[in-house]
Amino acid sequence: MKSENTVWHAQSVSRQMREQQKGQRGKVLWYTGLSGSGKSTIANAVDIRLHELGKHSYLLDGDNVRHGLNGDLGFDDAARIENIRRVAEVAKLFVDAGLIVSTAFISPFCSDREYARDLIGAADFIEVFIDTPFEICEQRDPKGLYQKARSGEISNFTGISSPYEAPTTPDIHIQTNELSVEQATAEIVAQLRFEKI
């Protein structure tokens, strides 16, 4: 139910003040790709690197968020849209806090990624396409999910019984059949501009 009688309170500590304190600009690295493509692995490696560089960062990982905040959501289209809407809202709060936030969710629908880009603001939104061929993801099957989807144990599985709409113009395009995790990490960090503020 939509809440009524709520007003937006202006906050005295602004985003700019938080960013100045941290010496960085808040932004979102929005990872997208098939299950098993390498989103969590690469986003985690990038997050480690950012931490080593003294950056203030946070990682929102699909599976972890589905345990808590989005634990009530399933995988039909409506639930996937709500999953991404909540993640985009949380990412926006973290950007407001001046953090570099990575989100690792399949986020299969173009319209949802566009929604996130619009909500967060294009200037602070970096779409990272972890582009791994379907056959390789299925071969890797790190969580045994493809096998379960093939046997019908899981329905609405992206790439098998639910669509994946690949980005056409991602900001960063990583092909994991050509790059190691280390190379992918270096490539992403190199493309992040750490503007002075």
| Binding residue for ligand ADP, selected from 24, 32, 35, 162, defined by CB under 6 A | 35
The span from the CA of 86 to the CA of 138, in Å, is 28
Q: Nearest Cα to 99, choosing from 115, 85, 120?
A: 120
The span from the CA of 67 to the CA of 64, in Å, is 5
Contact predicate 111/154, CB 8 Å: no
Strands (E), the chain: 27-32, 57-61, 100-104, 125-131, 172-175
Main-chain phi, psi angles of 183, to 5 degrees? -65, -40
- 102, 107, 151, 162: which is the annotated catalytic residue? 107
What are the beta bridge partners of residue 125?
28
For the bound state, the minimum distance from the C-beta of residue 134 to ligand ADP, rounded and expressed in Å, comes to: 12
User: Given the rule CB under 6 A, which of 34-42, 65-73, 154-162, 189-197 is the region that contacts ligand ADP?
Assistant: 34-42
Find out whether 37 is annotated in a ligand binding site.
Answer: yes
Tokens found for residue 157: 């599985």
Q: How many CB atoms lie under 10 A from the CB of residue 78? A: 9
Whether 57 is catalytic is no
For the bound state, the minimum distance from the C-beta of residue 37 to ligand ADP, rounded and expressed in Å, comes to: 4
| Binding residue for ligand ADP, selected from 24, 37, 103, 185, defined by CB under 6 A | 37
The span from the CA of 100 to the CA of 91, in Å, is 9
| Binding residue for ligand ADP, selected from 42, 65, 88, 101, defined by CB under 6 A | 42
Is residue 22 a contact point for ligand ADP (CB under 6 A)? no
Contacting ligand ADP within 173-192 (CB under 6 A)? 176, 179-181, 184
For the bound state, the minimum distance from the C-beta of residue 125 to ligand ADP, rounded and expressed in Å, comes to: 19
Find out whether 121 is annotated in a ligand binding site.
Answer: no
For the bound state, the minimum distance from the C-beta of residue 159 to ligand ADP, rounded and expressed in Å, comes to: 11
Is residue 104 a contact point for ligand ADP (CB under 6 A)? yes
Task: Give the distance from CA 140 to its chain's centroid.
Answer: 21
Contacts to ligand ADP by CB under 6 A: 33, 35-42, 104, 140, 142, 176, 179-181, 184
**Active-site residue set:** 107
Residues of the binding site for ATP: 33-40
